[in-house]
Structure 1
Amino acid sequence: MNGGQIGYYVHHHGEGHRRRAQAIAAQAPGRFTLIGTGVTGLFGPFEVLELPDDRSDGGFSGEDGAADRPDALHYAPIDHSGVRDRMRLIAAWIAERRPALMVVDVSVEVAMLARLCATPTVYVRLAGARWDPAHLDAFRGAKALLAPFDPRCEADDVPDWVRAKTVYASGLGSFPPAGNRTDNVVLVAFGRGGSRITAQDIDEAARATPDRRWRVIGRVERPTQAPSNLDVAGWVDDAADEIGVAAVVVGGAGDGVLAAVAAAERPFVCIPEDRPFAEQHAKAAALDRAGAAVVLSRWPSASAWPRVLQQAEALDHRRIASFHDANGAGSAASLIERWADR
């Protein structure tokens, strides 16, 4: 093994964090330990440290119910055994392994814990206007910031010092296109973060385009009586492969879906979801400005779908491809190793 150990904290809300961590760690076999909830099943040339869940509800609202939380923290519920145990395990791992660096994707609390344990950090900075005191403190305390998005997706009001500290690496965690084959499928792709799109929305769209095959992957309710041209597959492990051969992809502007669509150069109908700090809206606006996708503020009426799909297929595929860096994971891993070895 060359150099010291590198810890990589993996947030458990959304699939993009896991994909990024796996892709980066695979570039430096033996150096990384992925730390988080739900990392046990991840495969690659890295170690894992499974953490207890810290969620207070079935999903992850980010609300901790604390009225007296310090400004430097986002999520710090009181009397939560999961939070206590995960922080204890992280601190114990740092004390035992003495890592050269911690990559934090994402948690201002873990970034602060690493700093308190005398460990430098690289903070993964997501898109959107994240200029609240907690984020800015995490950014200020990091050796560098890693942004898993194209610089065109940057918020207009990003502070100059934050931009200067940021390395942009789009395409992290995405996979190469499956090949030249293209299925005649409109693929609706949902991530783990959930969606406001309903089963009825998809049912009506499929009925309005009987000449198209529709397939839905991810977390979504099934229509009560789906039309014959609609297949609701649910969660799949090979989402990038399915995106790679779809005629048109419909989805939000989450990191995982956007990276896979850009890597595969697929026609894209982007309907951004409401996420904290307007993250998806920032990326969708960049796609719209570049003419790289058909960007809609909401799911269109059923009668609009034939025209929407035709507009997407008429786009120049090189524009969406420009949002993907095929060497993103390798470049990010090299930079992280360099920062760790300084």
Structure 2
Amino acid sequence: MTRGIGYYVHHQGAGHWQRATALARALRALGRPCTLMGTFSEIDTAGAPCPVLDLPDDRMIGAFDGQDGSGSRPEAFHYAPLNHAGLRARMGRIAAWAAETHPALLIVDVSCEVALFARLLSVPSLVVRLSGTRTDTPHLEAFRAASRLLAPFPEALDGGDVPDWVREKTYFAGFLGTEAAAAAPEDGRIVVVFGRGGEGGTLARLAEAAVAVPERDWHVLGPVTGDGPTPGNLHCHGWVGDVRPHLAPAALVIGGAGDGLVTAVAAQGKRFLCLPEPRAYGEQAAKAEGLARLGAALVHPGWPEAAAWPGLVARGLALDPARIAGLAEPDALARTAAAIEALCRD
């Protein structure tokens, strides 16, 4: 019987889930069973390509920033609150699953604590290494505990102060996602995308942008707050499950530097105005810096003022879309799944 793989999925944003389901499908094609595990209260798991293990929530009451505020927390942990029943049940369920199934590998996307826990459970792990500066003790110890590291971006985008041993241990998967939607002719529209992991957009500022560039239709995907007058060229679609069909006719895409959006934009070769959002360890800022360095995106820090929009749109439309398209590898998923399968056989 082929031993399975566990895939731990972080709850922040939708990119982790999209990457996990895409890899799970590719692994299933190789005959390797996979179980997705995490807290999925904000995710529709109905279309999951494999069994799903829903874990008890480990978040503190109130705003969750990944820190528990404990001055006595061991240096190897980012988050380890005491007397938290949800966390205790969560780790117990992971341990029970490992004891029952004897997995070949646990993919951790992402959690330093789960990476270290896998080592304690004597389960080999493949730990996802995201962008940004991750040279703090918890990250380095998680990387040290892992059998291998996986970077879900091209090696050309790697940057920051990365120790040589971490880089040498990293498998650069490239952008991991589903295939691009069928090609469609561009109609000149601008598409703005807000993901689950950020604050979303505000109607007033979107209206200012649309008024500043009235010759183009603006289509907005994702959460938008506020009310008020809406110009005729501004169209808010709310949350959509698949952004790809909406990106296909876009002349310019605007959004943060989250993995899901960057992957989709690269797959379709779209001109990209990147507005990196604040994230722990400078994750989006580092990715945006790499895109700008390669000429693959125009980057602006934060939401622009109304007067800046005409110039930014003009510069964005002048980008060569071949630059960002060149970062996408059609075989990235299959190649990465094969590498994971080989790791399971070591």
Fold shared per TM-score above 0.5: yes
What is the aligned partner in structure 2 of residue 20 from structure 1? 19
Amino acid aligned to 1:25: A
Give the 5 Å matches for 1:121-200.
121-195=125-199, 198-200=202-204
CA RMSD of aligned residues (A): 1.7
Shift of 1:220: 2.5
What is the aligned partner in structure 1 of residue 244 from structure 2? 240
- Listed one character per residue, the Cα deviations across residues 85-107 of structure 1 (whole Å, up to 9, x for unaligned) are 11111000000001011000000
What is the aligned partner in structure 2 of residue 285 from structure 1? 289
What is the aligned partner in structure 1 of residue 49 from structure 2? 45
Task: Name whichever of 241-250 and 102-111 sits farther off.
Answer: 241-250
What is the aligned partner in structure 2 of residue 272 from structure 1? 276
The reply to whether residue 32 of structure 1 matches residue 34 of structure 2 is yes
SS at match of 1:27: helix
- TM-score, structure 1 length as denominator? 0.95
What is the aligned partner in structure 2 of residue 220 from structure 1? 224
Question: Cα distance 1:333–1:58, how it changes in 2: closer, same or farther (>3 A)?
Answer: farther
Structure 2 Cα separation of the partners of residues 26 and 218 of structure 1? 26
Shift of 1:313: 1.5
The reply to whether residue 4 of structure 1 matches residue 29 of structure 2 is no
Structure 2 Cα separation of the partners of residues 83 and 4 of structure 1? 27
Q: Is the 8 A contact 1:203 1:223 kept in 2?
A: no
Q: Is the 8 A contact 1:6 1:103 kept in 2?
A: yes
What is the aligned partner in structure 2 of residue 78 from structure 1? 82
Shift of 1:58: 5.2
Structure 1 Cα separation of the partners of residues 126 and 150 of structure 2? 7
- Listed one character per residue, the Cα deviations across residues 288-338 of structure 1 (whole Å, up to 9, x for unaligned) are 111111111132221221221121121111101122122121111111111
Shift of 1:273: 0.8
Mark the runs of 5 or more structure 1 residues left unpaired by the alignment: none
Q: Is the 8 A contact 2:194 2:201 kept in 1?
A: no
Task: Name whichever of 70-79 and 127-136 sits farther off.
Answer: 70-79
Q: Is the 8 A contact 2:202 2:225 kept in 1?
A: yes
SS at match of 1:85: helix
- Listed one character per residue, the Cα deviations across residues 61-115 of structure 1 (whole Å, up to 9, x for unaligned) are 1121222111111111222221111111100000000101100000011111111
What is the aligned partner in structure 2 of residue 321 from structure 1? 325
Amino acid aligned to 1:276: A
SS at match of 2:264: helix
Shift of 1:41: 1.4
Q: Is the 8 A contact 1:272 1:297 kept in 2?
A: yes
- TM-score, structure 2 length as denominator? 0.94
Structure 1 Cα separation of the partners of residues 230 and 25 of structure 2? 41
Shift of 1:42: 4.6
What is the aligned partner in structure 2 of residue 98 from structure 1? 102
Amino acid aligned to 2:211: R
Q: Is the 8 A contact 2:68 2:80 kept in 1?
A: yes
Q: Is the 8 A contact 2:271 2:321 kept in 1?
A: yes
Question: Cα distance 1:59–1:230, how it changes in 2: closer, same or farther (>3 A)?
Answer: farther
Q: Is the 8 A contact 1:22 1:42 kept in 2?
A: no
Question: Cα distance 1:234–1:286, how it changes in 2: closer, same or farther (>3 A)?
Answer: same
Amino acid aligned to 1:153: L
What is the aligned partner in structure 1 of residue 312 from structure 2? 308
Shift of 1:173: 1.8
Q: Is the 8 A contact 2:10 2:16 kept in 1?
A: yes
SS at match of 1:249: strand
Amino acid aligned to 1:34: L
Structure 2 Cα separation of the partners of residues 179 and 31 of structure 1? 32
SS at match of 1:216: strand
Structure 2 Cα separation of the partners of residues 231 and 16 of structure 1? 24
Structure 2 Cα separation of the partners of residues 53 and 246 of structure 1? 38
Structure 2 Cα separation of the partners of residues 53 and 225 of structure 1? 40
Q: Is the 8 A contact 1:272 1:281 kept in 2?
A: yes
Name the count of aligned residue pairs.
Answer: 341
Q: Is the 8 A contact 1:222 1:232 kept in 2?
A: no
Shift of 1:241: 2.2
Amino acid aligned to 1:203: A
- Which among 116, 119, 141 is matched to residue 115 of structure 1? 119
Structure 2 Cα separation of the partners of residues 182 and 43 of structure 1? 30
Structure 2 Cα separation of the partners of residues 300 and 214 of structure 1? 15
Structure 2 Cα separation of the partners of residues 287 and 224 of structure 1? 35
Structure 2 Cα separation of the partners of residues 165 and 214 of structure 1? 43
Mark the runs of 5 or more structure 2 residues left unpaired by the alignment: none
What is the aligned partner in structure 2 of residue 60 from structure 1? 64
Q: Is the 8 A contact 2:200 2:225 kept in 1?
A: no
Question: Cα distance 1:59–1:186, how it changes in 2: closer, same or farther (>3 A)?
Answer: farther
